[in-house]
Structure formats: C-alpha cells, structure tokens
C-alpha cells in the first residue's frame, strides 16, 4: 500500500510552484499593463488578462481571510494541543483536496482561454467555504456566546 503523505507533499509542492509561476506571469503582465492602463475595474473586466487578474486578486483576498480565521481558531484553541494538531492536519488535507479538485477544473477548461479564471474561481470558492467551515466549527458557539470573528461571506 502506498502512503498518501508523499503524494500530498508533492501536490502541495506543485500548487506552490503553480502559484509562483502564475504570480511571475501576472507580475510581468501587470507591470506592462499598469504602465499603459488605468487601474483595473474588476466589475467591468473584459479581456482574459483582466479577468485573470481580478480572479487572482479575489483568491488573494480569500486566502488572506482564511489565514486570519485559521490563525484565530488555532489561537482560541491553543490550550488543546490535540485539537490544534487535528486542525492543522485537516488544513493540510484540505489544501491537497483544493489543489486536486481545482486542477481538474482547469483540465476541464484546458483548451479555452477561460481555464485560468475557472481554476482561480474554484480555489476562491473553496477557500471562502473553508473559512466559513473553520468559523462554524471553531470560532462560533451554539449557546449564543458571540463568535470570535464575524461570519465570513461565502459569495463570490
């Protein structure tokens, strides 16, 4: 039986490489685009490049929010090391799932110019849902006690 840990590490490594590559490509395009174009209006994005930039910015925002909710859940439960470990394991497993699932979305659209925005939107949607799951499971209470953080928005 093959252990899933090396595969998970490889998937996470591939995700980091893809992000680095995407950021370098987007940075290159954005430098030239910013020199020639006014600030990006994501509500009226028309070109593939603009849509990809907007989708990337939305993912960055969702990932920042997830990091905030994850950090708060770990801090709130810091006195329970078993729970903290379990949350960290679940987060690693979720990252592997997100990578695999959104890569399959990319593959579905691989022949179209929309492939990038579809994969980025997939990651954004799953990231927002993960923030909500963390909030619901670890940062809100059933007894009416105010939540540690406000309920995150899951809409795209």
What is the pLDDT, as a whole number, of residue 30?
59
pLDDT along the chain (156 residues), means of 10: 66 71 68 64 92 96 98 98 98 98 98 96 98 98 95 93
CA dist 2 and 88 (Å) reads 22
Rg (CA), the chain: 18
The closest alpha carbon to 40, from 61, 55, 18, belongs to 55
SS3 annotation, the chain: CCCHHHHHHHHHHHHHHHHHHHHHHHHHHHHHHHHHCCCCCHHHCCCHHHHHHHHHHHHHHHHHHHHHHHHHHHHHCCCCHHHHHHHHHHHHHHHHHHHHHHHHHHHHCCCCCCHHHHHHHHHHHHHHHHHHHHHHHHHCCCCCCCCCCCCCCCCC
Instruction: Read off the pTM.
Output: 0.75
What is the pLDDT, as a whole number, of residue 15?
75
Q: Name the residue ranges covered by the structural domains of the chain.
A: 4-139
What is the pLDDT, as a whole number, of residue 6?
73
Q: Are 76 and 148 in contact (CB under 8 A)?
A: yes
DSSP letter assigned to residue 47 = S
Would you identify the CATH topology of the domain 4-139? Substrate Binding Domain Of Dnak; Chain:A; Domain 2 (1.20.1270)
């Amino acid at each position: 039986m093959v252990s899933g840990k090396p595969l998970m590490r490889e998937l996470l490594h591939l995700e980091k490489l893809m992000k680095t590559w995407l950021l370098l490509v987007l940075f290159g395009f954005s430098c030239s685009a910013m020199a020639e174009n006014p600030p990006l209006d994501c509500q009226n994005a028309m070109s593939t490049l603009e849509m990809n930039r907007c989708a990337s910015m939305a993912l960055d925002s969702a990932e920042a929010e997830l990091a905030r909710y994850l950090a708060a859940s770990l801090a709130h439960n810091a006195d329970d090391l078993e729970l903290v470990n379990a949350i960290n394991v679940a987060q690693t497993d979720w990252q592997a799932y997100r990578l695999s699932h959104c890569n399959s979305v990319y593959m579905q659209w691989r022949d179209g110019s929309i492939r990038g925005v579809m994969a980025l939107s997939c990651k954004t949607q799953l990231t927002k849902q993960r923030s909500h799951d963390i909030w619901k499971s670890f940062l809100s209470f059933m007894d009416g006690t105010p939540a540690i953080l406000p309920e995150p928005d899951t809409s795209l």
